[in-house]
Amino acid sequence: MGHGSDLRFKVENLTRVEGEGSLRLRVRDGIVEEAQLAIFEAPRYFEALVAGRTPDEVIDIVARICGICPVAYQMSAVHAFEDLFGIAVDPQVRALRRLLYCGEWIESHALHIYLLHAPDFLGYPSAVELARDHRELVTDGLRLKKSGNHLLSILGGRPIHPVSVKVGGFSRMPLRKELTALRPSLDEALRLSQATVDIVAGLEAPAFEREPRLVSLKHRAEYPLNDGRIVSTDGVNLRPSDWGEAFHEVQVPWSNALQSRGGDGLPYLLGPSARVVLASDQLHPLAKEALARTGALESIRRNPYRSIVARAVELVHATAEAIDIIDAYVRPGEPSVAYTPRPGVAAWATEAPRGLLFHRYVVGDDGKVAAATIVPPTSQNQAAIEADLATFAPAVLDLPMAEATHRLEQLIRSYDPCISCATHFLDLTVERAG
């Protein structure tokens, strides 16, 4: 099948991904001529909408780019502004921001592993059908997800679009007893995360290996979340404000989201697999132990279907670190420090659940944002996804169409693409000619 003629795969609406996209693949004589992840999510023009706003308003607005990872948007923005304004936050504020991010990683990773991705490996169309045969598995996943959401609610009022992050700190810091009350649910989440690693490591992944270029933050003393340097498997090493020195954006006709490429024009991959490979030495000891038990580090690097193992290892890290932060927490006297805005360029990158999220704002003399560029992880991963589709597709061409399509969809879900994230920035990275 497929030899000597055009063969077209089309999945018009990708499911179990966040947002709206489709997959188009054209193969001629066994050679993949087109592999397009078409993103048709309607653009919402966020970079235009933050113009004229104060930094604190921007933090609220950019959260709305994504209902799954609003904290990531708040974090990249707040760090960018604090870097420009020269603000040193209280060490407990810094720790609590890591805790907030842990909550989002737990919620997002548990959602993806149990509700979106595991059904692929086990042959079910959704977690609801999966629960009919494996109810405990799904309820465990939901409990994990809930523990992350609960953490977010205590720190920010609600799990989706929390309200407490502001330049200089938080609008409110939790009482110690509010955090220690989370211990039982987090202790259970840690146990469930450790079990998750073993479960997903045992899932059979389609055989597919390649040599990807991986990119993530890396920090000497901690697993990458809010801070560190941008590094890659091929030697990039930059401040988190300097993303543009190694990477750039390109427009493709089939997508409402700009793509990104390295300086050589080639793709790169962000996310849990990249972080686990580049920063495995900074994983929490319990996460390191879980990863070692699987022996999967090399297959995580080479096989995209194994990202589910990386995500599970990061679940262990996020729950274990959350517990450590809570145990060491002392409520500071003031939840935030005063500051004076300065004009200039505010830029920073943090690690969203799906990978490096870069923000850049031009702040005017009036202290308001004059221009913005936001580069979400999924838009950066588009080229990597397409490269993997082109590499992998020939191996499934002889399967029945439905099976081949399923394998390719499963491959796309391996990147946990967040399409609503990827699509809001088209307007601003493209500028008026002249």
Partner 1 sequence: MDVAVRASAAAATAEDAGHGRATARRRPRVGVVKFASCDGCQLTILDVEDHLLEIAERFDIVEFAEATSRRSSGPFDVLLVEGSISTPEQAVEIARLRAEAKLLVVIGACATAGGIQALRTAAEHEAFRAAVYPVPAYVDSLATARPVADFVQVDAELRGCPISPEQLVELLVSLTTGRRPQLPDQAVCLECKRRGIPCVVVARGLPCLGPVTRTGCGAICPAFGRGCYGCFGPRENANTAGYAQALVTGDAAAGADGRGRDPVDVGRLFAGFTGATQPFRSVTDSLAGRPPVTLRPTLASPPETLRAGPPTWGPAPSAPEAPSAAAAKEAPDGPRQ
Restricted to residues 205-264, the positions that interact with partner 1 (CB under 8 A) are 210-213, 218-221, 227-229, 231-237, 244, 248-253, 256, 258-259, 261, 264
116 lies in the site for partner 1, by CB under 8 A: yes
Q: Say how far apart CA 357 and CA 378 lie, in whole Å.
A: 9
DSSP one-letter code for 49: H
Q: 369, 362 in Cβ contact below 8 A?
A: yes
When the beta carbons of 207 and 221 are compared against partner 1, the nearer one is 221
Name residues contacting partner 1, limited to 411-430 (CB under 8 A). 420, 426-430
When the beta carbons of 58 and 199 are compared against partner 1, the nearer one is 58
Q: Say how far apart CA 226 and CA 215 lie, in whole Å.
A: 15
Q: Say how far apart CA 20 and CA 339 lie, in whole Å.
A: 40
Residue 409 CB, shortest distance to partner 1, in Å, is 8
H-helix or E-strand containing 31?
strand 31-39
Of residues 1, 3, 88, 184, which one binds partner 1 by CB under 8 A?
Answer: 88
Stretch that binds partner 1, among 60-68, 181-189, 289-297, 320-328 (CB under 8 A): 60-68
When the beta carbons of 399 and 430 are compared against partner 1, the nearer one is 430
Name residues contacting partner 1, limited to 284-343 (CB under 8 A). 335
Site string for partner 1, 380-399 (x = CB under 8 A): ---xx-xx-xxx--------
Q: 260, 248 in Cβ contact below 8 A?
A: yes
Could you tell me how many residues of this chain bind partner 1 (CB under 8 A)? 130
Residue 166 CB, shortest distance to partner 1, in Å, is 8
Stretch that binds partner 1, among 36-44, 186-194, 196-204, 304-312 (CB under 8 A): 36-44
Stretch that binds partner 1, among 130-138, 177-185, 196-204, 284-292 (CB under 8 A): 130-138
Give strand pairing partners of 259: 250
> What is the three-class DSSP state of 175?
coil
Stretch that binds partner 1, among 153-161, 188-196, 289-297, 325-333 (CB under 8 A): 153-161
Find, among 138, 108, 106, the residue nearest to 122 by Cα: 138
H-helix or E-strand containing 98?
helix 91-110
Q: Which two tokens stand for residue 216?
A: 């993530």
Its sign, for the CA torsion 110, 112, 117, 119, is: positive
